[in-house]
């Protein structure tokens, strides 16, 4: 709580991230510098149980070592194991060049232009294998531009670690010896629950602005405090996030839901001013409600995101459209402030256009978001047209392809606010009464891993 008596997320929304910094009450901490200094190797015995490791990843590492190369688990898998979490992906880093990796594995494909790496394919998964990389020479980054556009300079093990972003993401695990290789104090930071950038945070954020979203997402997911210089760099350079590729911004925004920490991440976006950059329309709407003395809408949104987190932690999967709907419902359902009687569907479409353009939301997802959000008042019983009520009590709505997704989103609102229990049960009963062959199949939840595909069609008008 700040000196003003406001929680940091509310202070950030009202007065901006600089006020949060001045209050000293935000998610940042004055952490001690790493000891020993970054660049000094520490080998820490820490054997992880074989049950926690991916058998295919271990197999790939063994074959690389037999081929005369060094190879390690790296990044998120080592980080998650240290935090007592079960990793979803096991990425590998090696001294082998991409073509050498391909010669060792028939089930291998080299991908990427900016960042060439190998994908090793197994029946039910794909493992990423990257070659050690060196920092980009300043002369190759353009005339004073820090944004990295090409990243295929191969290097040593230490160089690869030092070019990574966050200390807890830069740990190597030697499977054969059961040892963590730590050049940056990442193990100590994990133990202290501190999130810290490697090197100068100002430079690192400008090199890849997506790092700002990643910092907030990981801090929320791992319940870490953020090192003050890192936090200050996020606040200072947050406008640069829009310089990153649009699909990458959307991907990292959606990944906040996958870790079951969308609620805390949303608070950090408010505290840091990042929400105003990524979703300025939603930010402006919440600021206007706050100026009018209304915090109920903001608190309802925070409660819904936390309800989604609880569901995700219990194994629930959400589609991209559902995740976007949870964030955007307050904005798309808000009445026009000037008293104009714009049809809700038209209003939602117009408000969705700039968001879809900024984040490269596909036409399919944009339309599904609009359908889900416009269904919410009908499910609650405040927006269903009289004619549909006379014709069978919403039977047509239940058969819509988006109904199941909309009902799940509505269920999260019910769980968060305590309102609409009877309506939710009634709609769920109606869905259950429909023969399975007549129900629209559930939409698949998409993987967090990006896939090479045709460019998606954009939301109408975007």
Between helix 296-313 and helix 246-258 the angle, nearest 10°, is: 70
pLDDT at 383: 55
- Say if strands 225-227 and 28-29 run parallel, antiparallel, or are unpaired: parallel
For 270-301, what is each residue's pLDDT tens digit?
999 999 999 999 999 999 999 999 999 999 99
pLDDT at 198: 95
Q: How far is CA 90 from CA 13, 79, 108, 128, 156, in A?
A: 37, 11, 16, 8, 21
Phi, psi of 222 (to 5 degrees): -100, 5
How sure is the predictor about 267, in pLDDT bands with cuts at 50, 70 and 90?
Answer: very high
3-state DSSP helix/strand/coil percent for the chain, to nearest 5? 55, 10, 35
Distance CA 192, CA 364 (A): 43
Four-way CATH pick for 42-195: 3.30.460.10, 2.40.50.180, 3.40.50.300, 1.20.1260.10: 3.30.460.10
How sure is the predictor about 438, in pLDDT bands with cuts at 50, 70 and 90?
Answer: low
| Residues 291, 292, 295, 298, CA torsion sign | negative
CB count within 10 Å of CB 361 equals 26
The answer to whether residues 94 and 131 touch, using CB atoms and an 8 Å cutoff, is yes
Q: How far is CA 72 from CA 173, 185, 259, in A?
A: 5, 18, 24
Q: How far is CA 66 from CA 58, 96, 121, 205, in A?
A: 12, 12, 19, 38
CB count within 10 Å of CB 208 equals 18
> Strand order in 194-195's β-sheet?
28-29, 225-227, 194-195
Write the DSSP assignment of 234-246 as a string of letters. HHHHGGGGGGS-H
**In 3-state terms, what secondary structure has residue 129?**
strand
Peptide bond into 36 cis (omega under 30): yes
Mean pLDDT of 320-324: 95
| CA-closest candidate to residue 302, choices 214, 406, 417, 218 | 417
Prediction pTM value:
0.87
For 176-195, what is each residue's pLDDT tens digit?
999 999 999 999 999 999 99
Domain definitions of the chain by residue range: 42-195, 262-438
For 373-416, what is each residue's pLDDT tens digit?
999 999 988 654 444 444 445 678 898 999 999 999 999 999 99
Distance CA 126, CA 153 (A): 24
Write the DSSP assignment of 357-395 as a string of letters. HHHT-BHHHHHHHHHHHHHHHHHHTSS--HHHHHTTSSH
Active site residues: 89, 91, 165
The answer to whether residues 439 and 315 touch, using CB atoms and an 8 Å cutoff, is no
């Amino acid at each position: 709580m700040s000196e003003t008596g406001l929680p940091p997320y509310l202070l950030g929304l009202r007065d901006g991230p600089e006020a949060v910094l001045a209050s000293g009450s935000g998610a940042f901490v004055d952490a001690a510098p790493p000891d020993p200094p970054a660049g000094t190797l520490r080998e820490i015995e820490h054997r992880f149980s074989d049950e926690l490791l991916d058998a295919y990843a271990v197999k790939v590492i063994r074959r690389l070592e037999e081929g005369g190369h060094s190879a390690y688990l790296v990044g998120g898998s080592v980080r998650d194991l240290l935090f007592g979490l079960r990793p979803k992906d096991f990425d590998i880093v090696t001294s082998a060049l991409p073509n050498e990796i391909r010669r060792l594995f028939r089930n291998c494909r080299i991908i990427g232009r900016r960042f060439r790496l190998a994908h090793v394919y197994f029946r039910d998964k794909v493992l990423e294998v990257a070659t050690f990389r060196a920092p980009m020479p300043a002369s190759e980054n353009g005339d004073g531009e820090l944004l990295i556009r090409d990243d295929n300079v191969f290097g040593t093990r230490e160089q690869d670690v030092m070019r990574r972003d966050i200390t807890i993401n830069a740990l190597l695990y030697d499977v054969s010896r059961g040892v963590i290789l730590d050049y940056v104090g990442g193990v100590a930071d994990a133990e202290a629950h501190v999130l810290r950038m490697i090197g100068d945070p100002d430079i690192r954020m400008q090199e890849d602005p997506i790092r700002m979203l990643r910092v907030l997402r990981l801090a929320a997911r791992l319940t870490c405090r953020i090192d003050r210089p890192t936090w200050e760099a996020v606040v200072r350079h947050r406008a640069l996030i829009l310089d990153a590729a649009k699909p990458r911004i959307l991907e990292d925004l959606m990944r906040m839901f996958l870790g079951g920490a969308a609620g805390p991440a949303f608070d950090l976006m408010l505290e840091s001013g990042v929400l105003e950059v990524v979703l300025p329309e939603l930010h402006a709407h919440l600021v206007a409600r706050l100026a009018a003395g209304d915090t109920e809408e903001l608190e309802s949104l925070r409660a819904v995101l936390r309800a989604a987190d609880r569901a995700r932690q219990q194994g629930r999967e959400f589609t991209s459209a559902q995740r976007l709907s949870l964030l955007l419902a307050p904005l798309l359902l808000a009445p026009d402030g000037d008293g104009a009687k714009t049809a809700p569907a038209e209003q939602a479409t117009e408000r969705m256009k700039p968001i879809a353009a900024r984040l490269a939301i596909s036409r399919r997802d944009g339309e599904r978001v609009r359908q889900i959000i416009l269904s919410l008042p009908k499910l609650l019983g405040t927006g269903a047209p009289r004619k549909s009520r006379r014709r069978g009590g919403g039977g047509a709505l239940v058969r819509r392809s988006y109904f199941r997704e909309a009902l799940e989103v509505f269920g999260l609102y019910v769980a968060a606010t305590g309102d609409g229990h009877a309506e939710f049960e009634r709609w769920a009963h109606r869905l259950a009464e429909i023969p399975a062959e007549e129900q629209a199949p559930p939409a698949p939840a998409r993987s967090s891993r990006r896939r090479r595909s045709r460019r998606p069609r954009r939301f109408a008008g975007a």
